[in-house]
Amino acid sequence: MRGSFKILLVFIIGTCVCKMNVARAQLKPLERVRPMSWWVDMADSSLQLLVHGKDIAARTVNFSYPGVHLIKVHQVENPNYLFIDLIIDKGTRPGKFDLRFTKKGAKDLVYAYELAEPSSDPGRNQGVTNKDLIYLVMPDRFSNADPSNDKVAGMKDQSLNRDSMYERHGGDIQGLMNHLDYIKDLGATAVWATPMIENDMSSASYHGYAATDIYKIDPRFGTNELYKAYVEKAHSMGLKVIKDVVHNHIGSEGWIMQDLPMKDWVHQWPSYTNSSYRDQPLMDVHRSETDKKVMLDGWFVPTMPDLNQNNPFVDKYLTQNHIWWIEYAGIDGLRLDTYPYNDPEFMADWAKAVLRQFPHLSIFGETLVTTPAEQAFFTGGNTVNRGLDTHLPGVTDAALKDAIYGFLNDKEGWVDGSNKLYAVLSLDFLYKHPEQNEVFLDNHDMSRFYSMVGEDFNKFQQGMGILLTMRGVPQIYYGTEILMKNFSNPDGLVREDFPGGWNKDTTDKFHAAGRTVMENKAFNFVRTLAQFRKTSHALQTGKLMQYVPEDKIYVYFRYMAAESVMVIINKNDSEKKLTTDRYKESVAGYHSAINVLTGQELSDIKEITLPANGITILQLKK
């Protein structure tokens, strides 16, 4: 395995070097300016332009526009780059001006730079909170509405094969837009799509995590303009939009890798060094600094070079890009891929810069770690032993996900089964804001929930019931609501197409008529709870009170001053009668209830009948 890996690495590095030489030979005198445009009256008055073109460093920069000042022009190792520092005064009027790049004896190169008025629409940049339910999709695998962009001339990967788990299937932005009504009807209020920016890699880049141009939507998904239209349509339907962003790495075949501005744009090693994927050296007081460096600076995989965020030009390039997309499209939240692998100081400064510009924006970081302590280490407000505040509002709550699986699948024991879930939630004191954590059961990187519970429908209901009544921001992976299944070894098996998303599909599970009896039962279960959650202040923002599990029965409440929801999970194989005397501090003042799942009215809640291996969710009434 190691030998094969080295051969692959040599091939990749050799390929990149060849393409780098070709890219330099074919480079235009003025290839690109990034960001392509900007806005007046931003929170940060500074702007740094990356200019890329053949021997552009040999030219002088000139422009004239009231309120815009040239501070410095940086020449770097590669003469094909200039970095231009500008200051834009408050009150500068929107408009265009010509950036001129002059050289004696040569024709001027001109770029018309636009400064626009920031949007004042209150429906943009709303933030995604614990009031929301997130629906996660992989665009390539969700729906194909525009076959004309399935293959794009000039792009490296020309695959289109729905029978292959690793090749492109053709899903696109228009397909997602066409099914926003399905997502809304389910009860979701926010959509998170895996990255849709350009991934012009030779193969296996349908997932979007190997960016080759971070300012451009991949043309096989659509255009920048269509992405903006997608956000606007979602907003018009009462849905929020989360953009998936990657700070840690880029694709090895992108233009910036083919013609690096400077060697330390990415982390360099004497020989290829992969990340250890171990987060412990970041927090371990006994750590080896070498181990910490390998975790942070090692490459994620050979085709995803690790960005050097200590390089101030990289820092500015990434931060401005994310601000550009948020303002351009009106995005409501960001999901941060591979959060622990990034430089901590950079990420803290990045979060402050982004939230300064967009104070209502929501951010959660992917932290696929194993314990609440490890997760809390990365969240904002936890400065002990760190010397910094990450300013990260929330994380993907993998520890809670594992505890829910333990609850559903493990035998009862002092620290197992129900007690594992109880114990993990008891550690919420480690977080400043546990309600901002994203709660989930599966996603595109892990085995699907229904398979993980052995295709046991009772466990499916219990798990989804916990997900939709738990503290935090719940997230559903596309297809979970219709019992899509499979295991993540390999990952492609959990990234199957949503049935009905392609014109030639023989079944259409976006509609009840195309679903089986069990699929409709699952869909309606999720929809009932999700729609109820949209009206329940207790489930959205209420506090959580849990009780130590007894006799394989676990009880918790989501409550606020005038509203309470009681959740009871009976893990016994037989029906049980539950008296509520033990829960008097939570049920005091309440005398009746409505069963949220069945609609049944309970005139008396002193004793509740619990179905075997079932979940009961009661809206308490005074």
Catalytically active residues are: 337, 366
Tokens of 538: 């207790």
**CA angle 68–73–74, rounded 5-degree value:** 145
Tokens of 458: 């009772």
Rounded to 5, what percent of the chain is helix, strand, coil? 35, 25, 45
Cβ proximity of 197 and 217 under 8 Å: yes
Tokens of 605: 């809640």
Q: Which of 284-322 are b and which e, b meaning 16 or more Cβ less than 10 Å from the residue's Cβ?
A: eeeeeeeebebbbbbbbebbbbbbbbebebbbbbbbbbb
User: Which of 592, 588, 589 is CA-nearest to residue 600?
Assistant: 592
For residue 47, what are the contacts with CB-CB under 8 A and spacing of at least 6?
35, 38, 85, 86, 87, 88, 320
Site of tokens 């190691």: 2
Cβ proximity of 596 and 529 under 8 Å: yes
Cβ proximity of 343 and 296 under 8 Å: yes
Neighbour tally for 247: CB within 10 Å: 24
For the chain, the distance separating the N- and C-terminal CA atoms, rounded to the nearest angstrom, is: 65
Tokens of 36: 């392509």
Tokens of 334: 């960001």
* CA–CA distance, 576 with 148 (Å, rounded to integer): 58
User: Which of 579, 554, 585, 558 is CA-nearest to residue 568?
Assistant: 554
Tokens of 568: 């009871």
Cα 597 → chain centroid: 30
Tokens of 507: 């079944």
Tokens of 7: 């051969």
Cβ proximity of 191 and 285 under 8 Å: no
User: Which of 374, 390, 384 is CA-nearest to residue 280?
Assistant: 374
